[in-house]
């Protein structure tokens, strides 16, 4: 049995995450994912929209993921690889070369990220939506709901 281990924050779960997890799972029989805890994100200067518990629940429901656990610090990866008996440590290619020292205990693989999608870009786009835009969207939705209510389906 070949075991893959990876890490990430996995906030605002999107198609890029799915595609990465699918490709990771194709490398072996089990995919184990370390999810950055809220406390670790704080140390990294990050703030997730969803809590660790919510992100863990989301990832646990993904068919490509076998198991999840909290990532609490930068230094735990070596111990986790040994604990879970991982054959492959894999990360997105934005981390290229950063974990090569783990090659002494497992194979280290860097996979290409999905182009044109990232949690950072989604958050940046959402931050540009102001109250005027939200009011316009809400008004449009009310119009659509009114039209649908007036339709008769047979």
Catalytic site residue 30? no
Catalytic site residue 128? no
Catalytic residue of the set 2, 22, 30, 46:
46
CA 113/CA 76 separation, integer angstroms = 24
CA 121/CA 106 separation, integer angstroms = 32
Q: Strands across the sheet with 67-71, in order?
A: 67-71, 30-36, 3-8, 88-92, 107-111
Q: What is the pLDDT of residue 86?
A: 98
Catalytic residue of the set 44, 47, 83, 123:
44
pTM of the model: 0.76
Q: What is the pLDDT of residue 49?
A: 82
- Residuewise pLDDT in 10s, the chain (154 residues): 999 999 999 987 878 889 899 999 999 999 999 999 999 999 999 888 889 999 999 999 999 999 999 999 999 999 999 999 999 999 988 899 999 999 999 999 999 876 666 555 655 655 666 666 667 777 777 777 777 666 654 4
Domain 3-119 architecture: 3-Layer(aba) Sandwich (3.40)
**What are the boundaries of each domain within the chain?**
3-119
């Amino acid at each position: 049995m070949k075991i893959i281990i990876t890490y990430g924050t996995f906030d605002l779960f999107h198609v890029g995450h799915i595609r990465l997890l699918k490709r990771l799972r194709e490398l072996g029989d089990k995919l184990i994912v370390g999810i950055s805890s809220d406390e670790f994100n704080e140390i990294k200067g990050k703030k997730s929209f969803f809590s660790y518990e919510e992100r863990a629940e989301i990832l646990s429901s993904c068919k490509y993921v076998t198991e999840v656990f909290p990532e609490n610090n930068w230094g735990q990866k070596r111990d986790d690889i040994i604990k879970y008996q991982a054959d492959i440590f894999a990360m997105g290619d934005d981390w290229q070369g950063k974990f090569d020292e783990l090659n002494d205990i497992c194979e280290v693989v860097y996979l290409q990220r999905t182009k044109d999608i990232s949690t950072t870009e989604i958050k940046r786009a959402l931050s540009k939506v102001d109250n005027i835009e939200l009011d316009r969207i809400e008004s449009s939705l009310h119009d659509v709901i009114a039209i649908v209510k007036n339709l008769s389906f047979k």
